[in-house]
Amino acid sequence: MSDYVASYVGARERISELARGAGEDELQLKVPACPDWTVRELVSHLVGVATDSVAGEIENLGNESWTTKHLEDRKGRSIDELIAEWEKAAVTLDAALADIHPALAGGLIGDVITHEHDLRGALDKPGARDMDLLELPIYTYVRWFGTRVKKAGLDPVEVESGDKSWIAGAGEAGPRVTADPFDLLRSLTGRRTRLEVKDLKWEGDPEPYLEVFSSYTYARSPLNE
């Protein structure tokens, strides 16, 4: 579980550096992957997730009302104030990540790293795309993809990226999909269009899997990351 701690800490530090380095105009930019949010609001959401997780206020986890409250409660705060709140929550959250169920830890890490790349896209500062930084969130989202595959009654899918592979679903895999780590993560998290996911390297018919591939709705248009 120490890998979960290191992954979350690394993402938080990279995001904090990006946010602190952004000018006021950049903080007001809309985030292409989350078009309802500005850069500042995206950071507010991440801080809210950390604070609510520590406080145990997760009964509405993922609901629009939950995320809206993160933004409303932090209106007018400076980036330094937001990062200070995040670091305060992290004293407890970082330690908890070593002990909580891997599914919950993976969900938190998947969220923070997905939003790190949303932030990078808004600021035009790509980076942190190596497999060693993306493997844990990819693993989490492939597991969730596998759950949806099983519920849909589809054959398992072998998911490959670099020298890593996972089985999404139960049993012997039929189709195979291959992508580089960054594109795979972005495809699994609704940051690619349906057509872009279909155009990944598939061995077998991708069509039956397109309804369940992404954990979220597909992007409306390419992000051109």
Q: What would the mean pLDDT of 17-23 be, rounded to a whole number?
A: 97
Taking the C-alpha atoms of residue 146 and residue 53, their distance in angstroms, rounded to an integer, is 26
The domain 131-209 having CATH identifier 3.90.660: the answer here is no
- What pLDDT digit, counting tens, does each position of 2-19 carry? 799 999 999 999 999 999
Taking the C-alpha atoms of residue 122 and residue 106, their distance in angstroms, rounded to an integer, is 24
Contacts of residue 205, Cβ cutoff 8 Å, sequence gap at least 6: 175
- What pLDDT digit, counting tens, does each position of 111-136 carry? 999 999 999 999 999 999 999 999 99
Instruction: Say yes or no to pLDDT of 182 above 80.
Output: yes
Q: What is the pLDDT of residue 174?
A: 85
What global pTM score does this model have?
0.94
Q: What is the pLDDT of residue 62?
A: 63
Taking the C-alpha atoms of residue 79 and residue 24, their distance in angstroms, rounded to an integer, is 10
Which residues, in sequence order, are bridge partners of residue 159?
166, 177
- What pLDDT digit, counting tens, does each position of 186-201 carry? 999 999 999 999 999 9
Taking the C-alpha atoms of residue 27 and residue 159, their distance in angstroms, rounded to an integer, is 36
Domain ranges in the chain with CATH number 1.20.120.450: 2-123
Domain ranges in the chain with CATH number 3.30.1050: 131-209
As a whole number of angstroms, the longest Cα–Cα distance in the chain is 53
Taking the C-alpha atoms of residue 112 and residue 21, their distance in angstroms, rounded to an integer, is 18
> Fold for domain 2-123?
Four Helix Bundle (Hemerythrin (Met), subunit A) (1.20.120)
